[in-house]
Chains A and B, each alone.
Chain A
Amino acid sequence: MKKTMYEKIWDSHLVVDEAGQAPLLYVDRHLMHEVTSPQAFEGLRLSGRKVRNPHSILATMDHCVPTKNRDLPIADPIAKKQIETMAENCLENGLNLYDMKNPNNGVIHVVVPEHGFVHPGMVVVCGDSHTATHGAFGALAFGIGTSEVEHVMATQTLPQKKSKTMQVVVNGALSKYASAKDIALAITGKIGTAGGTGYVIEYTGSAIRELSMEGRMTLCNMAIEAGARAGLVAPDEKTYEYLKGREFAPSGQYWDQALAYWKSLPSDEGAVFDATVTLDAADIAPQVSWGTSPEQVAGVDSVVPAPESFADETKRKACEGALAYMGLKPNTKITDIAIDYVFIGSCTNGRIEDFRIAAEVAKGTKVAGGVTAIAVPGSYHVKQQAEAEGLDKIFIDAGWQWREPGCSMCLAMNGDELTPGQRCASTSNRNFEGRQGKGGRTHLVSPAMAAAAAAAGHFVDIRKL
């Protein structure tokens, strides 16, 4: 039978598949951060259970860590306790932790690929919805809750329901400065935040093949924003090239063996998907979200929609609510929206490629009056690489703040946040109400669009620069 990549990974990880109970799926890699793990460790302790395979776990601290004055103690006592609890739990269970002072520290979904910890064909979980990022390597990677974190620690498995498969085909060439982020936002705009519910998405087509590994990570990262359980990109030479030589990648005699396996993973020619969605890359203008859901997006060359333009009553109501919260009027040109803040970073767009393209746009500009712009590398390795290339100087000369790594303003848990009413061009993944601070207004964009907005003080059609 012809199989999709998802079906191949699913079948090879089935431990138990008996009538009357959910299939048990084996988990190869378990990623962790400080926010969604403490109650799982507590549960293990209370039940007298142990971590079954400590080597399957890689942990970091990212959500609550400060991005400046890192040498000072964490000011927020509750965040401080959460950070300390993470360190104690990892020590007690013999887990590999890149703590705040570790040179490998950074956002979990940026750090893990840097070390080659995820390979094609794996099942990967983390108590974090953006685990989907690792689908870029052809691994089945999805977010789980804290009870499931405990379950995986204790059993190395998870009861799972098999998902349906959706193929998202993106053919053609992207226009200059349109990026993986714009593809991700355009897909969410097209199918909606529940469009992928119950599905695992496989991204295919020539535009996907053209993306770098960083771009594929950005794309898969936002599979969850379309409601999908996971996103996948079939591995190819770019994947193998990226992995080769990294710390946890197979080496020596094992490399060829692993490679042969990886090459068997892509969906069989003629495999059937339950649904197919098609986009033409050439049609994807740089995207800007205008509302409070990642499906509320528009091309930069268009306008904020009017509620009446939605035939569906639910969408019309959602548009009304979003415009009220965002302080926007229908039919305002996207390029007329003025901003107060710019954030480049996060597990979506905090990799070296993101800072390179943003620096290219920021070079020789000045941050507009009244605008605060912060660049937050996804990890210390990204930060070092950027500094080695002189990118930090470009940002600093342009009036940006160059910070230490962390999740920062993607979810504003660490003190980096908007004040009520402030409007932000953000390279993160969610524009929910209050996500970047109570009353804060988030517009999701690519790094290049964020850098251009910082200089202009409003959104600009970067293709015209």
Chain B
Amino acid sequence: MEPYKKHESIAALMNRSNVDTDQIIPKQFLKKVERSGFGQHLFHDWRFNDDGSDNPEFELNKPAFKGAKVLVVGDNFGCGSSREHAPWAIADYGFNTIISTSYADIFYNNCFKNGILAIKVDKAQLDKLMAEIAANEGVRFVVDLENQQVTTPGGNSFSFEIDPFRKGNLLSGLDDIGLTLKHVDKITQYEQQHKQNFPWLWV
């Protein structure tokens, strides 16, 4: 995983709530056995017309949002299926930051495994950010994870909370599994106890 660095990027706006993972990456693209190449299918059914051309009505097809790294989106983003193909598609498309009021649990976890910073803000703050983008499409936000700060030119800068463990992993780009395996002795010890307590699970 690439370490997460401070950046200034275009913030794209999707003013929709309860966007589910079936929309983020429709099921017809879940048959691949690789992790890469899902960006081209991100939001497929909304993004493309039946003939495969770009749907000009779809937010992310606006020229002003081209190259955006920050996605500002409505409540309960990523609900539904556990498919990690959703954050794979989001990251592969080019986003590394999402700002919303809330996320579905599994999706939220999956984001951080893939170098995506999912920032939670309150409704009033989200409304302000959405209004700023709507009034000035192509506006660029500065995202500083180290200092937990987002700066916007329209005066809607804010600081955000984040679990220190998740923050550390994003900043270092460290592999979770490697971190856990530092505790391999404790896992082994736990298993020995487990075998004594629950012998029927080990026969």
Q: Which of A55, A129, A193, A198 contacts B18 (CB 8 A)?
A: A193
What sequence of 0s and 1s flags, for each residue 188-203 of chain B, a beta carbon within 8 Å of any chain A beta carbon? 0011001000111111
Is A82 within 8 A of B31, CB to CB?
yes
Q: Which of B22, B34, B177 contacts A155 (CB 8 A)?
A: B177
**Given contacts A129-B81, A430-B80, are A412 and B27 in contact (CB under 8 A)?**
yes
Is A155 within 8 A of B31, CB to CB?
no
In the assembled complex, the Cα of A193 lies from the Cα of B84 at a distance in Å of 19
List of A residues within 8 angstroms of B22 by Cβ: 411, 430, 432-435
In the assembled complex, the Cα of A82 lies from the Cα of B30 at a distance in Å of 9
B69 is an interface residue with CB less than 8 A from chain A: no
Q: How far is the CB of B77 from chain A (nearest CB, A)?
A: 10
List of A residues within 8 angstroms of B181 by Cβ: 154-155
Q: How far is the CB of A440 from chain B (nearest CB, A)?
A: 11
In the assembled complex, the Cα of A194 lies from the Cα of B78 at a distance in Å of 11
Is B183 within 8 A of A16, CB to CB?
yes
Q: How far is the CB of A136 from chain B (nearest CB, A)?
A: 19
A438 is an interface residue with CB less than 8 A from chain B: yes
Is B74 within 8 A of A147, CB to CB?
no
Is A198 within 8 A of B80, CB to CB?
no
List of A residues within 8 angstroms of B184 by Cβ: 155
Sorting the interface of chain A by its residue count into under 10, 10 to 19, 20 to 34 or 35 or more gives: 35 or more
What sequence of 0s and 1s flags, for each residue 25-37 of chain A, a beta carbon within 8 Å of any chain B beta carbon? 0101000000110
Q: Which of B32, B102, B202 contacts A194 (CB 8 A)?
A: B102
Chain B residues with a Cβ closer than 8 Å to the other chain, count: 56
In the assembled complex, the Cα of A42 lies from the Cα of B181 at a distance in Å of 18
Is B165 within 8 A of A21, CB to CB?
yes
A143 is an interface residue with CB less than 8 A from chain B: yes
List of A residues within 8 angstroms of B55 by Cβ: none
What sequence of 0s and 1s flags, for each residue 5-28 of chain A, a beta carbon within 8 Å of any chain B beta carbon? 000000000011000111010101
Q: Which of A81, A142, A198, A413 contacts B28 (CB 8 A)?
A: A413
**Given contacts A39-B34, A257-B199, are A144 and B106 in contact (CB under 8 A)?**
yes
**Given contacts A197-B104, A314-B17, are A159 and B79 in contact (CB under 8 A)?**
no
Is B34 within 8 A of A413, CB to CB?
no
In the assembled complex, the Cα of A293 lies from the Cα of B190 at a distance in Å of 42
Is A194 within 8 A of B18, CB to CB?
yes
Q: Which of B17, B28, B84, B200 contacts A36 (CB 8 A)?
A: B84
Is B17 within 8 A of A157, CB to CB?
no
Q: Which of B76, B109, B202, B203 contacts A227 (CB 8 A)?
A: B76
Is B183 within 8 A of A35, CB to CB?
no
Q: How far is the CB of B111 from chain A (nearest CB, A)?
A: 9
Identity of the chain A residue whose Cβ is nearest the Cβ of B201 in the assembled complex: A28
Is A39 within 8 A of B102, CB to CB?
no
Within 8 A of B (CB), among A205-250: 227, 229, 250
In the assembled complex, the Cα of A258 lies from the Cα of B200 at a distance in Å of 8
**Given contacts A150-B177, A197-B104, A433-B45, are A42 and B35 in contact (CB under 8 A)?**
yes
Within 8 A of A (CB), among B104-160: 104-106, 109-110, 113-114
The 10 closest A-B pairs by CB, nearest first: A250-B200, A254-B200, A147-B113, A145-B84, A38-B33, A145-B110, A143-B82, A194-B76, A146-B84, A129-B82
Which chain A residues have a beta carbon within 8 Å of chain B's beta carbons?
15-16, 20-22, 24, 26, 28, 35-36, 38-39, 42, 47, 49, 52, 55, 63-64, 76, 78-79, 81-82, 85, 119, 127-129, 131, 142-148, 150-151, 154-157, 159, 161, 193-194, 197-198, 227, 229, 250-251, 254-255, 257-258, 261, 293, 314, 317-318, 411-413, 430, 432-435, 438
Which chain B residues have a beta carbon within 8 Å of chain A's beta carbons?
17-18, 20, 22-23, 26-28, 30-35, 45, 74-76, 79-84, 87, 102-106, 109-110, 113-114, 163-165, 175-177, 179-181, 183-184, 186-187, 190-191, 194, 198-203
**Extra 4 A-B pairs, beta carbons < 8 Å, given A15-B190, A20-B164:** A148-B109, A154-B181, A227-B76, A413-B27
